[in-house]
Amino acid sequence: MPTKAPRLAVWKFASCDGCQLSLLDLEDDLLAVAGAVEIASFPEASRAVGPGPYDVSLVEGSITTPHDAERIQDVRRMSRIVVAIGSCATAGGIQALRNYQDVKEFVSLVYAHPTYIDTLATSTPIADHVKVDYELHGCPVNKRQLLEVLNATLNGRKPVISPHPVCTECKRKGVVCVMVARDLVCMGPVTHAGCGALCPSYHRGCFGCYGPSDAPNTAAFANSLAYHGLTSEAAVRLFRTFAAGAPAFREQSLAIEESGARPSMSPEAGH
């Protein structure tokens, strides 16, 4: 008797759809995935939506509304395995900038009828609401890493994803450090690998799209920023971009903000 194919579902919450497009960009490899699984629900690719339960759910986007907070509970109940994909799903995304301000004030300034807006004061990752079996970082995710996660998940093994910072990718590619050679600010020392050192390869500093690496020394990195002429305000903004809600980046940005002073310039601070 033929084995029943695993059922895959893809869900969207507050996001730009970029991570779902990374899955579609797999092209020929996606055909192989489609042949190995039953794509039961993927609105970005097909209007056909099959009911749960699902073996694997890929979840893109952060939780920003009361409705989404309820919907993610339904997704979890219907799914054997939940994988959060992208910076929005793993760290709240750039929309997590709302976490540091008064959302009610924004709503009153932007909308003619604020009473019609039903939103949360925060943008939070999926793992803040339900159990997540695996998180894949990136803005958007690397399509090859996404394929590896799918392959591993469907075959019951742990995905082989590097836990190292972007600096490791620069070394492997022979990319000269832009912080040393060009005196550019680069988030590479504290950012999760996965992009292939894209920005440094073109002589630009890393923007932190993949969020914090597994063990980032953000305090030492923040102190070293003074050597590049950054004020404390600029240093805070550096940590509040694509992964503004990630704990390591959030805590460091708050620490700089609360200090109210320029990061230390002592030589020992950056080492």
Claim to verify: residue 205 and residue 235 sit in the same structural domain: yes
Structure tokens at 188: 């590479």
Residue in this structure with the two tokens 């690397």, named with its chain if needed: 142
Name the residue type at position 37.
V
What is the reported pLDDT for 264?
A: 46
Would you call 223 helix, strand, or coil by DSSP? helix
Number of structural domains (the chain) is 2
Per residue in 122-176, pLDDT (tens digit) is 999 999 999 999 999 999 999 889 989 988 988 888 898 888 999 999 999 999 9
Structure tokens at 143: 């399509």
The pLDDT of 177-187, averaged and rounded, is: 93
Instruction: Evaluate whether residue 159 is within a structural domain.
Output: no
What is the reported pLDDT for 265?
A: 42
**Full residue range of the structural domain in which residue 181 is found:** 166-266
Q: Which of 244, 248, 174 is nearest to 207 (CA)?
A: 244
The predicted model scores a pTM of 0.87
Asked if 46 and 20 touch (Cβ cutoff 8 Å), the reply is: no
Claim to verify: residue 14 and residue 132 sit in the same structural domain: yes
Q: Which of 30-34, 69-73, 216-220 has the lowest mean pLDDT?
A: 30-34
- Alpha carbons 85 and 48: distance in angstroms, whole number: 22
Claim to verify: residue 179 and residue 126 sit in the same structural domain: no
Instruction: Evaluate whether residue 93 is within a structural domain.
Output: yes
Instruction: Evaluate whether residue 1 is within a structural domain.
Output: no
Whether 267 has a pLDDT exceeding 60, the answer reads no
Instruction: Evaluate whether residue 160 is within a structural domain.
Output: no
Last residue of a domain, one of 123, 154, 185: 154
63-76 in b/e form (b: 16+ CB < 10 A) is: bbeeebbeebeebb
Per residue in 222-231, pLDDT (tens digit) is 998 887 888 9
